[in-house]
Amino acid sequence: MSVLVALVVGLFLEREKGILAREELLLQDSLRDPLTGLHNRRSFDAELARVLASPGEHYLLYADVDHFKRVNDRYGHSFGDEALRAIARTMLLCVRRNDIVARLGGEEFGIILADISREEAQRLADRLIAAVAAFDHRAAEERITITLSVGAARRRADHSPTMLMSIADMALYEAKNSGRRRAVFCTEPMAEPTQPPDTAKGAPKAEVTV
Q: Is the pLDDT of residue 200 over 50?
A: no
Which residues are catalytically annotated?
Answer: 107
Under a CB-based contact definition with an 8 Å cutoff, are residues 58 and 115 in contact?
Answer: yes
Residue 15 pLDDT grade (very low, low, confident, very high; cuts 50, 70, 90): low
Under a CB-based contact definition with an 8 Å cutoff, are residues 137 and 144 in contact?
Answer: yes
Q: Is the pTM value of this prediction over 0.85?
A: no
**CA-to-CA distance for 40 and 199, rounded, in angstroms?**
32
What pLDDT, on the 0 to 100 scale, is given for residue 9?
65
Q: Is the pLDDT of residue 36 over 70?
A: yes
Residue 203 pLDDT grade (very low, low, confident, very high; cuts 50, 70, 90): very low
Nearest CA-CA partner of 89 in 45, 28, 35, 139: 35
Residue 57 pLDDT grade (very low, low, confident, very high; cuts 50, 70, 90): very high
* Residues whose CB falls within 8 Å of the CB of residue 143, separated by 6 or more in sequence, listed in order: 136, 137
Mean pLDDT of the chain: 84
- Within a 10 A sphere around the Cβ of 202, how many other Cβ atoms? 4
- Residue with the bigger pLDDT between 42 and 27: it is 42
Helix (H, G, I), strand (E, B) or coil at 139: strand
**CA-to-CA distance for 95 and 55, rounded, in angstroms?**
20
- Residue with the bigger pLDDT between 54 and 188: it is 54
Q: Is the pLDDT of residue 92 over 50?
A: yes
What pLDDT, on the 0 to 100 scale, is given for residue 164?
93
**Backbone dihedral angles phi then psi of residue 101, each to the nearest 5 degrees:** -115, 125
Residue 202 zone, left/alpha/beta (φ > 0; ψ -120 to 50; rest): left
Residue 145 pLDDT grade (very low, low, confident, very high; cuts 50, 70, 90): very high
